[in-house]
Structure 1
Amino acid sequence: MNLNWTLYRLLSLFSDKSSYSQLLRYKHISVSSFLILRKLHALVPELKTIVDVGANQGQFCIAARHRFPQAAIHSYEPVPDTFKVLSSNVGKAGNIQLNQLALGHEEGVIPFHQNKYSHVSSILKVSSENDQSKYNIGVEKVIEVPISTLDRQFNHQKSQGPVLLKLDVQGYEKSVLEGGPEFVKQVDFILIEMPFVQLYENQLSFTEINDYLNSIGFTLRQPMDFNLGKGNQIIEMDALYQRTPGQ
């Protein structure tokens, strides 16, 4: 990542003493998560339910707990090694429920590509066209992980709103949404990572994901953060979608 971009993000964090103190307090917590949550809180001051799909080591859910202390947070991470780190980082926080599961459009078990750099591990295989750093550190192993659906997990129960669904599942976002048509009806906001280049095999493009979100009743509210790749190219964007009025 470009050094100037990294320094800019760190300096912007220094202006928020509360976020900075929280960042220093926890290991493995990303600057990106705190910056996104700061923007999110300014746009959406209250959330009562947060579903964190692709929790990794807890970067997002810990920052979310700081910004939305009254929210019930449900975090999903399927990789056993990463889940152990997530559990250690979260500790005994009463409002974060951890689930060692992948989410998608099916129930059962599914092959999962565990990368040495855990942030890019995915159900999908890294594309042969992907020459970005970190993605090609190498697959440590292909493992089988349990997979469920949003509708099965929430069993058609009413969640207290406003509800945020956060998706960071490395190209598997549409499958997660397809597995929760009933639950998605309760969702007010979707925070989703969207690609501008082909990072994984069979990964949908930005346009395809945007069109799909529009079709299920969500409209782009605001870009939240960007991930820079080779040559300072923007390769991914975290975007906030809001339920379209009347949908």
Structure 2
Amino acid sequence: MRMSRIQARLLQAIVRPALKTNLLKHAAWRVVLKLRNEFAHAVPPVELETTFDENIRILTSLSDHIESQVFWQGFQEADEGVILLLKRFLPSDGSFIDVGANIGTFTLVAAHRAVRGQVHAFEPSAHHFARLAHNVELNDFKNVALNRKGLYDQPGEAVLFLPSQTGEMNNSGAASLYTSALEETRQVSEAVSLIRLDDYVREKSIGRVDIIKIDIEGAELKALEGARETIARFRPLVFMELDLDNLERAERSPEEVLQYWKSLNYEVSIILLTGETVPVTSPKEFGLHQNLQCRPF
């Protein structure tokens, strides 16, 4: 199916404003879902530069799950509340650490916000790192340190598993250090380097950390265990994705997540799409997927 760049531009100009109106919102969502599906199968794939969140520039592939959301909607689904909190709490001279930066949506928003600060972005995947670097360059951000590394509790080498879904919407953002026998035939793998955040902060003589965002498909606790010294020293606000399927694949539990933050005297809350937060005291309160705000008492 051939879908043109001009078609995409014209349709985007219609659906994005419609999503912001109460009258047309529901109909616009149905149209967006249809467009995302149709353009996902376009041959050749449609790739376009677009803007999001205060005219930040970004390159998007309309056959990619995350990038197509940014193109058609102007945001990535389920992360709206986290972006609102990031913009609310990151000072203009602040320091932000993006763990699992992907193509850079959080990195770009933080760099735009912390104009007198610093952003440290970590992305081990060669494909995503190249797109991340391109997007940073598109905006001429000079306050971003790019690291083609993954964060873990020990330095070393590992295998990153990336989903391969030929002929479907490709959710490349689901790349993980953990796999299962049921998925191996649908994956490709890549050797990546891992470091500890505590070592990085020490080596770079970083003297301030305001916010950390971490979304690494099940490896969050491993990375946080390698960041304990940094978190205890700077007491940053932490935004953490928690997906129970990914957590189980990593052989970790929701109880361990709460225990980790309790040991550092942090309060854990679920972030709503509105940016509001709901405190969590028991692992039974978690759904299958949510974003967490972890805030020091």
* Gap change, CA 1:208 and 1:97, over 3 Å in 2: same
Query: 1: distance between equivalents of 2:131 and 2:248?
Result: 25
Partner of 2:161: 113
- Aligned residue identity for 1:55: A
Q: Which moved more, 1:26-35 or 1:64-73?
A: 26-35
Does the CA-based 8 Å contact 2:153-2:224 persist in structure 1? yes
TM-score by length of 2: 0.63
- Displacement of 1:199 in angstroms is 6.5
Among candidates 185, 195, 199, match of residue 152 of structure 1: 199
Classify 1:20/1:146 alpha carbon distance in 2 versus 1 (closer, same or farther; 3 Å): closer
Alpha-carbon distance in 2 for matches of 1:188, 1:45 = 10
Against the structure 1 CA distance between its residues 81 and 26, is the aligned structure 2 distance closer, same or farther, given a 3 Å change threshold?
Answer: closer
Give me the whole-angstrom Cα distance separating, in 2, the residues matched to 1:198 and 1:96.
29
Residue deviations 1:112-131, cap 9 Å, x none? 11223221001111585xxx
Q: What are the equivalent positions in structure 2 for 1:1-247 lying under 5 Å apart?
A: 10-11=19-20, 20-22=53-55, 25-28=57-60, 30=70, 31-32=75-76, 33=79, 35-42=81-88, 44=89, 46=91, 48-91=94-137, 92-116=140-164, 117-126=171-180, 139-155=186-202, 157-161=205-209, 163-185=210-232, 186-197=234-245, 201-225=249-273, 235-244=288-297
Structure 1: any 5+ residue segments left out of the alignment?
A: 1-6, 13-17, 129-135, 227-233
Deviation of 1:208 (Å): 3.0
Deviations along 1:99-120, one digit per CA (max 9) or x if unpaired, are 0001101112111112232210
Q: 1:87 Cα shift?
A: 0.8
* Bigger Cα Rg: 2
CA distance in 2, matches of 1:56, 1:112: 13
Larger RCO of the pair (alpha carbons < 8 Å, separation 6+): 1
Find the aligned partners of 1:178 and 1:45 in 2 and give their Cα distance. 23
Residue 218 of structure 1 aligns to which amino acid in structure 2? Y
**Structure 2: which 5+ runs fail to align?**
1-15, 22-50, 61-66, 165-170, 275-286
Taking structure 1 as reference, are residues 115 and 215 closer, same or farther at Cα in structure 2, changes over 3 Å only?
Answer: same
- Cα 1:126–1:217 change in 2 (3 A) is farther
Aligned partner of residue 166 in structure 1, secondary structure: strand
Paired amino acid for 1:54: G
Distance 1:179 1:20 in 2: 32
From the two aligned structures, give the one with the greater helix fraction: 2
Calculate the TM-score normalised by the size of structure 1: 0.75
Q: In 2, Cα distance between the equivalents of 1:127 and 1:199?
A: 16
Deviation at 1:143, TM superposition (A): 1.8
Q: C-alpha offsets along residues 163-193 of structure 1, whole Å, 9 cap, x if unaligned? A: 1111001110111011122212223211100
How far apart in 2 are the matches of 1:126 and 1:65? 36
